[in-house]
Structure 1
Amino acid sequence: MAATSGAATIHAHSVSELRPEAPANVSHPLETLPGQASKREVYKGYVRAQRSAHNNLAPIHRFLPTEILMEVFAHIIPTSCTALCLLSVCRKWRYIALRTPEFWSDLLRIPVVTRAAVRGDPAGVERFRTFLQRSAPIKFSFNVLCLPSHVSEVLGAHLNQIGGLKVRVSGDEAVVLYGWLATGMPLLQELEIFHKAAYPLNPSYRDALRALQCTDFDLPRLQTLRVSPAFFVPGLAVPSLQTLHVGGCCCDDCRGDGKTYTLHDLSSFLRRCPYLFSVKFSMGSEPLSEPGELSHRPVSLPQLKTLTFEHYQAYSLRDVLSSLIIPHTTIVRINSETFAQGGETYFPPALRKLPLPWALRSLRVVVGTCTCDLLGANLRNESGRVKVGWKTIGVLNRRTEIFRDFADLFASPAVSRLHISVASNLYPTCLDGPRMAALLSAFPQLTFLRVGRKCHDLFTYLLAQSDPPPCQRLDHVIALWSVAWEDEFWESCDLVEKTLAHRAGLGLRLSILDLRFRRLYGLKEQEIDVDLQVVRKGLEERFRPLAEKVEITIEV
């Protein structure tokens, strides 16, 4: 008990040492009552004095150094302006918070702060100005939908703090912004300039923008640039740039003849950015073409990792690729679409002349009632990849030569993988026996073939008695069949067996045969009088001597 009491005594003593001392003697409020002051006001002043005296003796002030408290305030991430209540806790907290720029820099990230300033509210503008002044020299990012003059005036005094800038501007606002860039923004790393489509650019603004000339001294740290075509000028290029994204706006100034930059301007820009590793061209970013531009010396981008084209016209795609020298390790992605009218081909002839750094090795064509999707790619390997996606929209049910156009455009011995899928109602008019033979003969080095819907013509072609035999390197076949039960189903199986036996006799035995019967017309699930699993296993046993691996799938 004695030991316990002693411990309790020691504990109580240590707590008493940490407990704040009583506030200093404060005069009774009525003893200092001014002549005309009310008792309520006097008591309020008395309470404030008591609070101040108590806070000055609080343990957090007595034991935590000022540097620790500044570090605490620097790690506070406020979500609203109510965080300013920290300044009202005590004089010391206010003193420290006012001298912690990280705290004020985080306040600038609150959307309501920038929205109030952009609206032009006097209190909001003054608050924005105050936060900026107290955040110096901390770097901050700014993201707004417009850049009015009262905001430009405030930001213009803090250009050396801006690390990220994302704005949507009109012509006059863009002139002010480009003036900032020419003046110099030493910390700017990311810049996004989008066009306010409702504000067309007049010639005077265009001339002012094209006069911009930035240097690596003005923007020494700029790494990412996203810009609308209307604002894309060669003067924005700096050597430190690593990521470039042009496009994304669909207004007349950015997509039509209103834009001013040409292929020569684009080449001049890229030539000043040797360290680019990602370039992306989006909707409306096709440069204007001028006679003789393709005769200029191509631009080499030795560090380029990815090159992307979205919603790009075929002729512009050819011109841009012709003006570039890119490594074989670059990943190229092309995605676009076109509208086919009467008498036009479904694949633009310009696709035939794309100066890709390597040949396409895989082709995929999916034909539907109103669309034709083309996907071309080279295989994933150590030398890089390229992916070309093209969608053609039109009335396809009357087109009978779509695969002839496709074979004429992409015929190549480099293609080793081919995927064909045609809607069942279009198959008779788009891909009958002669068209299937002409299509497959355009790709003699096929090793992988996938055909959907109707596969009779495929196996008939592979059975042909010709010298040399068709598709000599073919070793993997996937046939997705839609047939009627029961006669057509067994006729199809007999055709497959006959074809495989013929090719095996020629030393062209398949490595993988994958037959997928996706739909058996005339056989309803509720009226099944046959065990499909037994049928599947029987077919596997039947074809196994003719291929190294056989997979059969039967679905009702």
Structure 2
Amino acid sequence: MITDSPQLPLLGRPSTKDNDAYQVGVTLPEADREDLRKLNTKAEVRTWTLLKAEEHERLMLVYRSMHNATVLCGTLPTELLSLIFVFATATTWLGTRSRVALRLLCVCRRWREVALGCSEIWANTLDTGTFHMGEIGVNNADTDDEGEDGFGNEEDDEKQATWEEKNGRRQEYEYFLFALKLSASRQLALHISSFPQHFLSVTLPEHTSRISRMTIKITSEDVFEQLYQILKSGMPLSATR
């Protein structure tokens, strides 16, 4: 028995202070209670309970996977489930902010496998909203110390807002690249409001052969010149207007 503490919860008669823990302990299976009686210190109890919790978490995932395999959405043929996903991601009113395709990945293992293997879903993702990716670099000056009063000031608030905006654009760009990769050989329709500097020089040229439509906001003569050179090098699927 444990000797470094009087009346260890879960094993013997509890004190008033430990009554809640005792009530939890008595609900354990007899085999677990027997294992607990063999432990000698609280440290051993902590280690044992963490290991048991991890074990049951793994079992819970297995049970949920087994359950999902028996419900209707888990028994649909892959082809039909893919069609449903394609329809769900083709709804333009949701826009990029809803990130429907990413939500599909979080439902269960089978949905994730089907969604990752369906390139049309990710082509739809790129076509159903306008991406605002902007300049995603963060200047070190944005993390200056707080004001003299220790509570920051309006300038700090502005810097925080700027950081959050840049972080949001970074996440949107990562989402864009993720969808671009999974869209495989599908034709692309892109709608881009802002983008980082290397987008025109690195990212876009790799996929010009797949672009059938593209809407892009031009903010300077340099951007126009870069885009012109890309168009000049050839976008065979894009109709000239």
Structure 1 and Structure 2 fold alike (TM over 0.5): yes
User: CA deviation digits over 1:68-95, x for unaligned, max 9?
Assistant: 2222222223521144222222222211
Which residue type is aligned with residue 174 of structure 1?
Answer: F
The Cα shift of 1:131 comes to 0.6
User: CA deviation digits over 1:144-164, x for unaligned, max 9?
Assistant: 344542322222221122222
- What is the aligned partner in structure 2 of residue 118 from structure 1? 134
Would you say 1:132 and 2:180 are equivalent positions? yes
User: CA deviation digits over 1:120-160, x for unaligned, max 9?
Assistant: 24333222111111113222322334454232222222112
Secondary structure of the 2:214 match is: strand
Partner Cα distance (1:136, 1:83) in 2: 15
Partner Cα distance (1:147, 1:177) in 2: 12
Is the contact between residue 147 and residue 173 of structure 1 (CA under 8 Å) also seen in structure 2?
no
Would you say 1:74 and 2:86 are equivalent positions? yes
Partner Cα distance (1:125, 1:46) in 2: 36
- What is the aligned partner in structure 2 of residue 100 from structure 1? 118
Partner Cα distance (1:74, 1:82) in 2: 10
Where do 1:5-16 residues align within 5 Å?
Answer: none
Which residue type is aligned with residue 232 of structure 2?
Answer: A
- What is the aligned partner in structure 2 of residue 187 from structure 1? 237
- What is the aligned partner in structure 2 of residue 44 from structure 1? 57
- What is the aligned partner in structure 1 of residue 216 from structure 2? 167
Q: Whose strand fraction is larger, Structure 1's or Structure 2's? A: 1
Change in 2 beyond 3 A, CA 1:52/1:185 = same
TM-score using structure 1 length: 0.26
Could you say which structure has the greater relative contact order, defined with CA pairs below 8 angstroms and 6 or more residues apart? Answer: 2
The Cα shift of 1:34 comes to 7.6
**Which structure 1 residue ranges, 5 or more long, are not aligned?**
1-28, 190-221, 225-556
- What is the aligned partner in structure 1 of residue 198 from structure 2? 150
User: CA deviation digits over 1:13-34, x for unaligned, max 9?
Assistant: xxxxxxxxxxxxxxxx969x98
Which residue type is aligned with residue 62 of structure 2?
Answer: A
Partner Cα distance (2:193, 2:205) in 1: 17
User: CA deviation digits over 1:258-311, x for unaligned, max 9?
Assistant: xxxxxxxxxxxxxxxxxxxxxxxxxxxxxxxxxxxxxxxxxxxxxxxxxxxxxx
Where do 1:515-554 residues align within 5 Å?
Answer: none
TM-score using structure 2 length: 0.56
Would you say 1:89 and 2:107 are equivalent positions? yes
Which residue type is aligned with residue 174 of structure 2?
Answer: E
Which residue type is aligned with residue 121 of structure 2?
Answer: F
Which residue type is aligned with residue 102 of structure 1?
Answer: E
Is the contact between residue 101 and residue 115 of structure 2 (CA under 8 Å) also seen in structure 1?
no
Is the contact between residue 135 and residue 195 of structure 2 (CA under 8 Å) also seen in structure 1?
no
Percent identity for Structure 1 against Structure 2: 29
Secondary structure of the 1:163 match is: strand
Where do 1:356-395 residues align within 5 Å?
Answer: none
Partner Cα distance (1:67, 1:144) in 2: 31
Change in 2 beyond 3 A, CA 1:36/1:175 = farther
Is the contact between residue 187 and residue 212 of structure 2 (CA under 8 Å) also seen in structure 1?
yes
Secondary structure of the 1:137 match is: coil
Secondary structure of the 2:113 match is: helix
Change in 2 beyond 3 A, CA 1:119/1:41 = farther
Is the contact between residue 148 and residue 173 of structure 1 (CA under 8 Å) also seen in structure 2?
no
